[in-house]
Amino acid sequence: QSISVTSGEVKAASSKEAALARKYRDVGWIFRVAFLAFTLAASVGYALYVVLHSYPTAISVLGFAIFLARGCAMGVMLCTGLLFLSASQAAISAFRYYVERWPKVVIVLDARKEIHMFIGRAILVFALVHSLCHLASTVPNMMTSSLEELNDMMGCARKGVLVSSLLLPECPLKEVPTFWGVLGSVPVVTGLLLGALLTLGGLMARKSVRRSCFSWFRITHQFMA
């Protein structure tokens, strides 16, 4: 009889653990879908604002890919903020104290590691699409557009823009940029450096690397932070 009771308790515990695992999985998927929906909506809204209000000639000069590039840039910015927030154990612990009455919110907060990894992958996807759009459309269209079209489109060529003196090449443009001139510009160089840093962080975050050399994972993440 004692063996039967013990076996029943084990089965009950296993069933409870399985039900809890399913709940975590379901809530996790709900969060992922909600997060992606919000990020995509905000990215599309920002891209529309850029091409319709801030730079109304951008699509005609640089092609439709500029819309995708700007949208993905917003996606990277939103994901980066949540990426750092999901890594802040102190902030999550403090917030968890006030939401303990809502179990589903607590489940999401307890899954901060999985959320952090999911957002990191989303950043890599957004950054890759952003880079490919610029490489496939922005760069060749800048090389074939007229100097008047480029300066009319670029915000740094307008009066009252304070950052124009910090840009390379100098803005407004004095000549149509070459391929290497575009690649050597401040936005491209800083973008490539950030992309390399994201790639390095993603590689160091792989499970095999974390297990074999955790110190490299910790150092790269601290450097990125």
Are the C-beta atoms of residues 63 and 138 closer than 8 Å to each other? Answer: yes
Tokens of 97: 């104290």
pLDDT of residue 10: 42
Instruction: Report pLDDT for 33.
Output: 86
Q: What is the pLDDT of residue 109?
A: 79
pTM of the complete model beyond 0.85: no
Whether the link from the prior residue into 140 is cis, omega within 30° of 0, is: no
Non-local (6+) Cβ contacts of 8 within 8 A are none
Tokens 């089965």 -> residue: 11
**pLDDT recorded at residue 27:** 67
- Which pLDDT value is given to residue 184? 85
Tell me which long-range contacts 171-179 makes (C-beta under 8 A, separation of at least 24): 173/147, 174/147, 175/147, 176/142, 176/143, 176/145, 176/146, 176/147, 176/150, 177/142, 177/143, 178/143, 179/139, 179/143
Output the pLDDT for position 5: 44
pLDDT in tens, the chain (225 residues): 444 445 554 445 456 555 555 666 666 677 888 888 999 999 999 999 999 988 899 999 999 999 999 999 999 999 988 888 888 888 888 888 888 888 777 877 777 888 888 888 899 999 999 999 999 999 999 999 998 888 888 866 565 544 554 566 677 788 888 888 888 888 888 888 888 888 888 888 888 888 888 888 888 887 877
CB 57 within 8 A of CB 153: yes
pLDDT at 126: 94
Cα–Cα distance list, 33 to 28, 127, 157, 210, 213 (Å): 9, 19, 40, 28, 33
